[in-house]
Amino acid sequence: MRKFWLDCVLATAFVFLAFWGLAGLTKLRVFNAFDSLGEALSDVELTDYVFSALRDDPKVDTSIVLVNIGMLSRRQIAEQVTIISKYKPRVIGIDSFFDCRGRNYDTLNCPALTDELGNLMFGDAIRSAGNVVLVTKLLRNDSTLADNEFDTLRRSDPIFRDGALAEGFANLETDAAFQDDVKTCRNFNPVMVVSDSAHRAFAVELALQYDSAKTNKFLRRGNYLEVINFRGNVFDVMGTTNYPQMFYTLDVDDVYNENFVSEMIKDKIVIFGYLGNFLGDPSWADKFYTPLNRKMAGKANPDMFGAVVHANVISMILNEDYVEQMPLWQQVSMAVLICLLNVALFALINTYLPLYYDGITKLLQLIQLLAYSVLMVMIFHWYTFKLNITLTLAAVALVGDVYEVYMSVIKNLYIKILGKFSLTPKPADVLMSETPEKQ
Amino acid sequence: MKKTITFILTILASVALAQDYAFKVLASKGNNEIKANGAWMPLKTGASLRTGDELKLASNGYIGLVHKKGQPLEIKTPGSYPVVQLESQVNSGTGILSKYADFILSNATPEAKKNRLSATGAVDRGEYHAIKIALPEHAGIYHNVASVGWSGDNIKSPFIVTVLNMFDEELALYETEQTSIQLDLNDAKFAKENAVLIEVKSKGDQNQKSKRHMIKKLAAADQAGIQKSLTEINLVVQDETALNSLILASFYEQNKLYIDAIGAYEDAIRLAPDVSAYQESYTDFLMRNGLR
């Protein structure tokens, strides 16, 4: 029995060695030029399927209103803020920067300064509203800092931020190298430290102003990174997601013409942000790929504007709909345990049903792949827990064939090598005992 | 005791009323309408729809609704929809396992054959309008007398100016050889309308026409606010001079009353035709607001 389990452990170790070798080969990127499948799948997580199509349909969140600022000037946004503020929202967030982007502070390099009256109007509108939260951006001037360390903040000009209630960083966790790069967003950082000072995310700041109790409960989780439990999109007329309209939305003209009812704004969170030049505009500016995208892999249209991503974060916090996820050590442990049990089972099949080994093991692998993916979906549905089973599925997919390689090649090679060096006990010499003479 | 009962009944009634809707409007795009109590009216975002109401989606429009139980519903196909019919479309949700089965099966069937030539490598640009009206597409008005001017390349008079209501019904038709017209919104023809649409066409060439522009009368509360501010300003700018007209123009512009601002600029130019600064200010105003 002990030998059996030792054998199983060694075979399991070999499966993971093979897995590591294959993973290493892919890192050499030797086949990358032809690896379109790998490229397409590199940005996919299995739980994206859950978010997109395999969970209970979330309900609309009516506590958040999104207002499109389109390509309005500061003066025009000031008018929007003034109009909306009349209807007494609880808090207003403006998902846009109002600065000179690091250029010289003159009208030549910063044309927005030309409209002095408009800037004054906007600053005044923010001050008069009294409940405006502006965005900041985490920056790294010192290139020796690690990827997750920042030392500077980009902020709007003092004329605007001095009248604001608060600021929050708008950075979202993606693989983008720059603002207009392809951006896939699944997670966000609730709090980041900049030069020894803690700063909250824009969405967290808005949630805090709306409901401090729930937000503080969320912050007490103390996670560096949180999975966004996406609720849905707005004005998704292109049908890129399965949840196309989950928040109140107003277009530019709707605000100017006050084409809405006042109850929709009162005591709500209002987020001003870019939602296209007009609602339904298929613009890609400030648009992210999210797990809600119907097209999982390959070339797809980005599906969600940044302001809507922030709305989803706020909705998650206020509805206390957090997503727990499996830490890495649990993922590895689960993969090792499942692999070990599979190896043990396959060893028994190999011993007692050798003729049917191939058929049975392939069938078992297929059943397990299906079962684990169902388990992933059900566990997310019951516990909002992100069961990351990628390693487990990879181990199950490899175990059948790799175990055969282990038994037929590795183990036999091992026995042969040991035999060559006379390390294996040879069969005992037949002792010719002296037959006692017959007396 | 009586007071307590009345109070409880009031609370119950308000709760009942609050829940007495089938849907609320999450988003609306286009000239969509709702029929409630027998009359059609423009649809507003956030409005409540009751079971007996009817919804009309305009062409190229979109309506997003939320059911009282929280499920969303989209309407993208133009037409009329009784709310009771929409209620029957609300999905009560399927179980997770059946969703999983649907998901597997839907991915197992091949995608519908696509037209490989359905996309072009060209863009669309805005519909060409030979005549450009010097007004924003949507403008509020305080004084109710609008000076509407227009221009264009090679446009031919006489011009036909059509005034319509929000339901595309013609309210008035004017013919003029000039490139401007004065519209008095206090006229009986327009008295009942909160907003009117204006369109200008060349009588001789039907292809020469303008976009439709909307002029909206200010709501009573906003009128009162503007009146109050104007009263304060008029204490300073009592005389009718070009400079005072310029100050008024700036005030109107700040309050987004572009039509009144145009009127004030024209007054300034009329009062001081030799002073080029007023003409330059007017040109800057038109360019700043995309009216030229």
**A337-360 residue pLDDT tens:** 999 999 899 888 888 888 888 888
Structure tokens at B162: 């059509």
Say how far apart CA A192 and CA A145 lie, in whole Å.
14
Question: So what's the pLDDT on residue A181?
Answer: 64
Report the residue from B45, B66, B91 with minimal CB separation from A60.
Answer: B66
Say how far apart CA A148 and CA A192 lie, in whole Å.
9
Give the three-class secondary structure for B75.
strand
Banded model confidence at residue A214, pLDDT cuts 50, 70, 90 = very high
| A346, A403 Cβ separation under 8 angstroms | yes
Say how far apart CA B219 and CA A319 lie, in whole Å.
38
Positions in chain B whose pLDDT score sits under 50: 14-18, 108-114
Claim to verify: residue A361 and residue A307 sit in the same structural domain = no
Query: Residue A426: what are its φ and ψ, rounded to 5°?
Result: -80, 160
Claim to verify: residue A308 and residue A345 sit in the same structural domain = no
Domain of residue A147: give its range.
49-321
pTM assigned to the model: 0.66
> How confident is the prediction for chain A on average, in pLDDT?
84
Banded model confidence at residue A438, pLDDT cuts 50, 70, 90 = very low
φ/ψ bin of A44: left (φ > 0), alpha (ψ from -120 to 50), beta (otherwise): beta
Give the three-class secondary structure for B114.
coil
Cis status, amide bond into B158, omega within 30 of 0: yes
Question: So what's the pLDDT on residue A128?
Answer: 94
Which residues contact residue B220 at a Cβ distance below 8 angstroms, ignoring those fewer than 6 apart? none
Claim to verify: residue A365 and residue A313 sit in the same structural domain = no
- For residue B138, which residues of chain A lie inside 8 Å, CB to CB? 253, 256-257
Q: Which run of H or E residues covers position B147?
A: strand B145-151
CB within 8 Å: A279 and B29: yes
pLDDT for residue A10 is more than 50: yes
Question: So what's the pLDDT on residue A439?
Answer: 45
Amino acid letter, B39: A
φ/ψ bin of B216: left (φ > 0), alpha (ψ from -120 to 50), beta (otherwise): beta
Claim to verify: residue B176 and residue B251 sit in the same structural domain = no
Has residue A24 been placed in a domain? no
CA–CA distance from A11 to each of A165, A361, B82 (Å)?
A: 61, 15, 66
Question: So what's the pLDDT on residue A310?
Answer: 96
Report which DSSP code applies to A105. Answer: S
Residues A223-233 pLDDT 10s: 999 999 999 99
Has residue B8 been placed in a domain? no
B91 lies within 8 A of chain A by CB: yes
This complex has an ipTM of: 0.73
Report the residue from A117, A121, A249 with minimal CB separation from B27.
Answer: A249
Closest CA to A67 of A319, A308, A314, A244: A308
Say how far apart CA B265 and CA B242 lie, in whole Å.
8
Structure tokens at B164: 């319509």
Claim to verify: residue A195 and residue A145 sit in the same structural domain = yes
Claim to verify: residue A223 and residue A350 sit in the same structural domain = no
Report which DSSP code applies to A222. Answer: -
Claim to verify: residue B211 and residue B136 sit in the same structural domain = yes
| A90, A210 Cβ separation under 8 angstroms | yes
Say how far apart CA A99 and CA A122 lie, in whole Å.
13
pLDDT for residue A55 is more than 90: no
| A221, A204 Cβ separation under 8 angstroms | no
Amino acid letter, A190: P
Query: How many residue contacts between A and B have a Cβ separation below 8 Å?
Result: 94
Claim to verify: residue B206 and residue B245 sit in the same structural domain = no
CA–CA distance from B282 to each of A112, A240, B246, B262, B263 (Å)?
A: 21, 46, 9, 8, 10
**Radius of gyration, alpha carbons of chain A:** 30
Claim to verify: residue A205 and residue A273 sit in the same structural domain = yes
Has residue B107 been placed in a domain? no
CB within 8 Å: A259 and B45: yes
Claim to verify: residue B212 and residue B223 sit in the same structural domain = no
Question: So what's the pLDDT on residue A192?
Answer: 92
Claim to verify: residue B172 and residue B248 sit in the same structural domain = no
- Most B-contacting residue of A46, A51, A57, A83 (CB-CB within 10 A), to test interface: A57
- Most B-contacting residue of A114, A250, A261 (CB-CB within 10 A), to test interface: A261
How many CB atoms lie under 10 A from the CB of residue B106? 10
Closest CA to A191 of A183, A201, A203, A205: A201
Claim to verify: residue B73 and residue B29 sit in the same structural domain = yes
Question: So what's the pLDDT on residue B17?
Answer: 47
Has residue B9 been placed in a domain? no
B46 lies within 8 A of chain A by CB: yes
Banded model confidence at residue A217, pLDDT cuts 50, 70, 90 = very high
Number of domains in chain B: 3
Closest CA to A18 of A411, A402, A341: A402
pLDDT for residue A306 is more than 50: yes
Claim to verify: residue A330 and residue A358 sit in the same structural domain = yes
Claim to verify: residue B37 and residue B83 sit in the same structural domain = yes
- For residue B123, which residues of chain A lie inside 8 Å, CB to CB? none
Has residue A333 been placed in a domain? yes
Claim to verify: residue A360 and residue A276 sit in the same structural domain = no
Report the residue from A57, A254, A280 with minimal CB separation from B71.
Answer: A57
Claim to verify: residue B208 and residue B266 sit in the same structural domain = no
Say how far apart CA B201 and CA B209 lie, in whole Å.
4
Question: So what's the pLDDT on residue B113?
Answer: 45
Say how far apart CA B216 and CA B219 lie, in whole Å.
9
Has residue B132 been placed in a domain? yes
Has residue A227 been placed in a domain? yes
- For residue B47, which residues of chain A lie inside 8 Å, CB to CB? 261
Question: So what's the pLDDT on residue B276?
Answer: 82
Banded model confidence at residue A63, pLDDT cuts 50, 70, 90 = very high
Say how far apart CA A232 and CA A242 lie, in whole Å.
8
**N-term to C-term CA, chain A:** 50
| B160, B208 Cβ separation under 8 angstroms | no
CB within 8 Å: B70 and A60: yes
Claim to verify: residue A403 and residue A281 sit in the same structural domain = no
Report the residue from B46, B71, B96 with minimal CB separation from A264.
Answer: B46
Residues A277-303 pLDDT 10s: 888 887 777 788 898 888 765 667 788
Question: So what's the pLDDT on residue A176?
Answer: 65
Claim to verify: residue A97 and residue A221 sit in the same structural domain = yes
Report which DSSP code applies to A32. Answer: G
B138 lies within 8 A of chain A by CB: yes
Report the residue from A60, A261, A374 with minimal CB separation from B100.
Answer: A374
Among chain B residues, the shortest Cα distance to A257 is held by: B138
Give the three-class secondary structure for A277.
coil
Claim to verify: residue B154 and residue B175 sit in the same structural domain = yes
- For residue A263, which residues of chain B lie inside 8 Å, CB to CB? 46
Claim to verify: residue A355 and residue A376 sit in the same structural domain = yes
Has residue A248 been placed in a domain? yes
pLDDT for residue A311 is more than 60: yes
Residues A384-420 pLDDT 10s: 888 888 888 888 888 888 888 888 888 788 778 877 7
Domain boundary among B72, B89, B106: B89
CB within 8 Å: A245 and B71: no
Domain boundary among B217, B249, B278: B217
Residues B189-217 pLDDT 10s: 888 888 888 999 998 887 788 888 888 88
| Angle CA A420–A425–A431, to nearest 5 | 120
Closest CA to B191 of B155, B165, B154, B157: B165
| CATH number of the CATH domain containing B161 | 2.60.40.10
Has residue B256 been placed in a domain? yes
Number of domains in chain A: 2
Claim to verify: residue B204 and residue B254 sit in the same structural domain = no
Question: So what's the pLDDT on residue A406?
Answer: 83
Amino acid letter, A221: R
Domain boundary among B217, B239, B258: B217
- For residue B48, which residues of chain A lie inside 8 Å, CB to CB? 261
The residue length of chain B stands at: 292
Which residues contact residue B75 at a Cβ distance below 8 angstroms, ignoring those fewer than 6 apart? B55, B57, B62, B63, B64, B65, B81, B86
Rounded mean pLDDT of A56-69? 92
Give the three-class secondary structure for A350.
helix
- For residue B26, which residues of chain A lie inside 8 Å, CB to CB? 60, 245-249
Claim to verify: residue A234 and residue A355 sit in the same structural domain = no
Cis status, amide bond into B136, omega within 30 of 0: no
Q: How far is B70 from chain A (nearest CA, A)?
A: 5
Domain of residue B245: give its range.
218-292
